[in-house]
């Protein structure tokens, strides 16, 4: 099973969605595909700060 990593700006609405999905074990949809958020981490400082999320496919499919 492939893991997808995405980086998101901290003031993005996607951050709220990622946090909710991570905390409540809900499905997160990214580019039309469904994933579970398995890890959240903050990278960088100041203007280069990003939220990094690891996503695993819900159905065990291969990430293309």
Structure tokens given for 6: 């995405």
16-29 burial, b if ≥16 CB within 10 A, otherwise e? ebbeebbeeeeebe
Domain count, the chain: 1
> Which pLDDT band holds residue 59 (cuts at 50, 70, 90)?
confident
Whether 60 has a pLDDT exceeding 70, the answer reads no
Range of the domain at 53: 4-57
Decide if 26 is inside a domain.
yes
φ and ψ of 49, to 5 deg = -65, 135
Decide if 18 is inside a domain.
yes
State whether residue 11 is helix, strand or coil: coil
Decide if 15 is inside a domain.
yes
Decide if 25 is inside a domain.
yes
Composition of the chain by helix, strand, coil, percent to 5: 20, 45, 35
What local confidence, expressed as pLDDT, does residue 63 receive?
55
Decide if 64 is inside a domain.
no
Decide if 10 is inside a domain.
yes
Whether 17 has a pLDDT exceeding 80, the answer reads yes
What local confidence, expressed as pLDDT, does residue 64 receive?
55
State whether residue 10 is helix, strand or coil: coil
User: Is-above-0.95 flag for pTM?
Assistant: no
């Amino acid at each position: 099973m492939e893991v997808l990593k995405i980086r998101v700006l901290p003031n993005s609405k996607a951050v709220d969605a990622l946090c909710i999905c991570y905390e409540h074990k809900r499905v997160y949809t990214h580019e039309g595909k469904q994933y579970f958020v398995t890890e959240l981490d903050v990278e960088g400082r100041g203007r280069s700060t990003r939220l990094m999320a690891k996503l695993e496919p819900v159905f065990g499919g291969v990430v293309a």
